[in-house]
A and B are shown apart, each in its own frame.
Chain A
Amino acid sequence: MSIIDELDPDELDPDELALADEHVITPTEAAEAAAWRPSPGGVAARIVVLVGLLLLVVAIPQIVPDIYTNVVSKAAIFGLVALSLNVIIGYTGQISLGHNAFVGVGAFGAGYALTKMDLPYAGALVVAALTGVVGALLIGVIALRLAGLYLALVTIAYAFLAQEVLFNLRSLTGGGAGQPAPRPSVFSSDVSYAYFCIAVLGVALAFDWRLTASKGGRAIQALRDDERVAASWGINVTSFKLLAFVISGIMAGIAGALFAGIEQLASRQDFPFLPLALTFLVMTVVGGAGNRWGVMQGGILFAILPTLLDRAHESFHFFPFTSVQVTWEPAIGALLLLLTLIFSPGGIAQQQRHLLNWLSFKRFNEPSHGGGISRGGMGARP
């Protein structure tokens, strides 16, 4: 229920609606903002910065020390997982606590396809994506009947099903030894594999962009806000909800295949429900559900966090770093989650909104709502 539903129309006062947000954008402001175009100098400055960022991304696998090259791959893969989870949390307004299962099944699927079925790498990616589709349909069909907490419980059930049953199928996972998952021959070195992962992330970002700007993504977001309204506009609620889960499953499955390629081995210790499923959820929310740039950064942050903590522990020999252990990661995640929920529900994306505005050729000080909740974020519905 939103504020609009609860109030009697006769008593409704626009200022009262403003309580939900820090600032209500007036139509005039909105029209002004839409008509605003940067000056030629502004365009040039933005292009320079964008190209600089792009070059930075291209340079990163080269400039990080060799031992951290795989962390770069992991960061790109976590970014992809965050995009995948964003389709469910941000666009559909549902929840998944079973993404470790999606990613894990994708990893084992790819490994199995590569070593047992001798498929080419592209074929293994397709198999990984298909495992995502199957899992997503399974969860999606249930999601049609349940929402909120109940759906969360079902996704946990899927996570445990995967952890306790699927990951223990010796033929699929190779048991304790794990399932070998060689990299594609062109990208066999660590650096080239990092480039490969970054490229896949780039493709996923482009795909996500077109999704939200076209029929399917709009329908999904419409039914997040109100299924009845969506249906009254001719949107098939069932199929589009399932579509959202399937898209998310495909992304997660491919992320799993890429993840297996880091160590060239998928083993069941890599995909535990705790803490992985929760890390995935936290990084999406902290990144800013509903915003692809935000969740991607959330994913990257949580991918490199253990390495950062580890490094701080090794390099600094004074308090508090002496007591920092890798196991602090969950605590930091929880703290970030709390800070996000209290101070900026739109997550990293909300913190960066001015920057993101500027980079998307809008005004730096674009008038905006209070963040993710109101604009393409998590619905406040139960």
Chain B
Amino acid sequence: MPAPKDHRKLGEPPLLEAHDVSIRFGGVQALSEVAFAVHESEIVGILGPNGAGKTTFFNCVSGFYAPNEGRIELHGEDVTALRPDERAQRGLGRTFQQVGLVKSFTVLENLIVAQHKSVKYGVLSGMFGMPWTLREERVLREKAMVVLDFMGLMAVKDAPVQGLPYGTLKMCETAAVIATDPEILMLDEPLAGTGPEEGEAFCQRLKDMRRDLGISIVMIEHHVPLVLGTADYIYVLNFGALLAQGRPAAIRKNEAVAVAYMGEGATALA
């Protein structure tokens, strides 16, 4: 199998780009001039200690926070002023640090709602029960099953979301975002609450997804070795600013990153 094309190296324009994003909450400078780019079928890792601003940055990119300065571009289009749902319509999918699922639905129902933007029938024809809407409902259901199967979640498909263990919920959440059919998948701590073996399997799945679906993945994760082993490119945030960026091999040896993570005197990660 040929190695995946490295779009970053080829100098192609990125799919998603953040230009010098800054945001303040009262007197706290949560992010200052963070720049970041995601290329086609690339896995990008975002690292950083607690409180570094990773989730805040995600919220700026996905439209839940409006940055004070800077702009976000998706496919070269300035989306800084767009709402989260408009960005989602343009192919940006994200998960939440707290579980982002509809809690009163079953897992399968969640994956059906998540396909909202790909539903072709109109809201009205759905309400009047037009025959073509019934047909499409079946298709939605089948698609949801395919995603659940891919994520290895078939066993819990009929279970109500309430009551499932946290790790399973995080997997279901990722499955739901995949069901939205995103071009860029942004995962906020997808491995929280899961064991190490599950982490390996999950990262392998991300690579499969990138290969099979050609999507780009951005991942915030505290499990540093896994991120280093999975991502093609890594950004490290610290105190709301970009501390380092580069290929995993370079990040591994970066002294500043090691100090940020492990304290004074450290020279290399892992």
**B positions within 8 Å CB-CB of A:** 62-64, 83-86, 88-89, 93-94, 96, 98-106, 109, 112-114, 116-117, 119, 121, 123-124, 126-129, 133, 137, 155-160, 162-166, 169, 176-177, 180, 192-193
What residues on A are CB-neighbors of B193 within 8 Å? 9-10, 12
Considering only CB atoms, which chain A residue lies closest to B121 in the complex? A215
Select B165's contact among A14, A33, A34, A230, beta carbons within 8 Å. Answer: A14
Considering only CB atoms, which chain B residue lies closest to A219 in the complex? B116
Residue A232, interface by CB 8 Å:
yes
Given contacts A207-B128, A210-B129, A9 and B192 within 8 Å (CB-CB): yes
Select B64's contact among A20, A228, A234, beta carbons within 8 Å. Answer: A228
Q: Among residues 213 to 232 in chain A, which have CB atoms less than 8 Å away from a CB atom of chain B?
A: 213-219, 221-222, 224-226, 228-232
What residues on A are CB-neighbors of B162 within 8 Å? 4, 17, 20-21, 24, 369, 374
| Contact indicator A234/B128 (Cβ below 8 Å) | no
Given contacts A4-B98, A25-B160, A207-B127, A214 and B85 within 8 Å (CB-CB): no
- Write 9 A-B pairs (CB below 8 A) sorted by A numbering: A4-B98, A4-B103, A17-B163, A21-B162, A25-B159, A214-B126, A234-B89, A234-B117, A374-B162
B207 → chain A, closest Cβ, in Å?
24
What residues on B are CB-neighbors of A229 within 8 Å? 96, 100-102
A41 → chain B, closest Cβ, in Å?
25
| Contact indicator B159/A232 (Cβ below 8 Å) | no
Residue A276, interface by CB 8 Å:
no
| Contact indicator A9/B166 (Cβ below 8 Å) | yes
B99, B101, B116, B117: residue with the most chain A Cβ atoms closer than 10 Å: B116
A299 → chain B, closest Cβ, in Å?
21
What range describes how many residues of A lie at the interface? Answer: 35 or more
A310 → chain B, closest Cβ, in Å?
39
| Contact indicator A376/B104 (Cβ below 8 Å) | yes
Q: Among residues 191 to 226 in chain A, which have CB atoms less than 8 Å away from a CB atom of chain B?
A: 206-207, 210-211, 213-219, 221-222, 224-226
The 6 nearest A-B residue pairs measured at CB = A214-B126, A234-B117, A24-B163, A234-B88, A216-B123, A210-B129
Given contacts A26-B159, A31-B157, A207-B128, A236 and B85 within 8 Å (CB-CB): yes
Given contacts A14-B164, A222-B113, A233-B113, A27 and B94 within 8 Å (CB-CB): no
Select A231's contact among B84, B123, B126, B129, beta carbons within 8 Å. Answer: B84
What residues on B are CB-neighbors of A141 within 8 Å? none
What residues on B are CB-neighbors of A231 within 8 Å? 63-64, 83-85, 88
| Alpha-carbon separation in the docked complex, A379 to B104 (Å) | 9
| Alpha-carbon separation in the docked complex, A2 to B166 (Å) | 13
| Alpha-carbon separation in the docked complex, A20 to B116 (Å) | 29
Select A12's contact among B112, B126, B165, beta carbons within 8 Å. Answer: B165
What residues on B are CB-neighbors of A217 within 8 Å? 126-127
